[in-house]
Amino acid sequence: MPEQNRSAPLKTYFAFGTGKDLISKDQSRAQKLKHRGHPHESEQSSDNNLSTKVEHNHNCHERNAHTHVSVDTPPGVDTTDANIIHIVSGIIGGGNQTCGLLVDAGSSWVWIDSHNYSAGQKGPEKKSKSVDYAVCGLTGTEYNDFVKLPSGEPMLQRSIGVAENFTQFRTKLPEEVRNVKGILGIGPSYLLAAPRLSTAYIQERKSTKIRISISFEENGRDGLLTYSEPDESRYSGDITYVDITRKEPSLEYWGIDLGLAYGHDVSLTSIKTGIIDPGTALLLFRKEAYDQYKQEIGATEDSETGLLVIQESQRGKLKSLFFTIGEANFELTAQAQILPSSIQATIGVQSDKIYLIVGQLDSQTTQDDESRAQQHADVILGFTWLRWFCTVFVTRPDDIVDVDGNRTTGKYVRHIQVGIANRKF
């Protein structure tokens, strides 16, 4: 029996300004990714109540129930430093109130504003929880509860952080998305101690796999987030599945091993490992590959935006980029390498230039050659790459140890994969 499709619309917002803001924010986020900066959790058990211990967490002055987080902890990669923000509608907890949730592929945390949460009817477990997330650490009570689609159908059962200070977090977001009520983390689940699946999910699929797929419309501003087998109408050909890389820091995200060529005869040999990141706008290459690509196409760097540009006379000579992932080759056509008009309109461009989506991973002032060689993140596959493909994130707990009708508890996730297919428009 075919699996029922479970999807929710995905809305995309741009969080960058004019000029060089796009490339500089992308590069800043890339540095956090390369230095393994995650929202950092610190917990202590409680008797279903928050501790009354007062601590200061960055710029927040709240009554927090958590142990001390070292000031040496690298800044976390989160939705406040993303150039591209994705929002999906959903329900968290036992109520029926649909709210906007920020989709975060850089972490596995799920948070909901305490003012928008009602617990499930069976009284889920609770303990204090604090995560050093963004400028303002999120603090509150942790529940085991459901994440639901807008229809109210339970999809996942997992750890939920009910944040008492979510309002302060919202002030760090662009104004047009400050009405969000929570965060839906879809990062690799081994970042969580006990990934969970709903009992209904297990019974229907007879499988412990969790599949989350993302695909975008041709306009790049709308998309679909699917919690089931990918919708066949969204892609063409077969889906190629590969295990996530074992190279740090890419293994802590949706990182994959890959090869890259410009045209059919120019191999960009410095590209071996990449991170799929919907929050990054551009396709960012490490310096060696960036310089090689720039030379091959005869591009220059635009002084106003910092982006690669070519002239109209060079458009016809631009060749496809070919990404080798697993046993398959995925083509990014010449047209797909041109910056979308919606992004061009936001940053402000000159009409006589053609702007490209490829940027340099490292800014001119960061990383010497030796330190770059030690970091296995050669390319960031950002939004302008993702929009041409259907991407599937797969996690599988190694064992299901308890089913009691209310929750299914899994051990640590050990098998994590990424699937890629060509997008069907």
Q: What is the DSSP letter of 38?
A: -
Structure tokens at 240: 């190629």
Which residue bears the tokens 């220059």? 300
Q: Give the β-pairing of 273-276 and 379-381.
A: parallel
Cα 131 to Cα 66, 109, 196, 371: the distances in Å are 9, 9, 19, 29
SS3 state at 205: helix
Dist CA 365 CA 361 (whole Å): 12
Check if the beta carbon of residue 241 is closer than 8 Å to that of residue 269.
no
Dist CA 345 CA 343 (whole Å): 5
Number of Cβ within a 10 Å radius of residue 112: 27
378 is annotated as an active-site residue? no
Which one of the listed residues 26, 78, 104, 132 is annotated catalytic?
Answer: 104
Which one of the listed residues 277, 302, 362, 378 is annotated catalytic?
Answer: 277
Cα atoms found within 13 Å of the Cα of residue 186, Cβ hemisphere only: 28
104 is annotated as an active-site residue? yes
SS3 state at 43: coil
| Residues with Cβ within 8 Å of residue 151, at least 6 apart in sequence | none
Query: What amino acid positions are annotated as catalytic residues?
Result: 104, 277
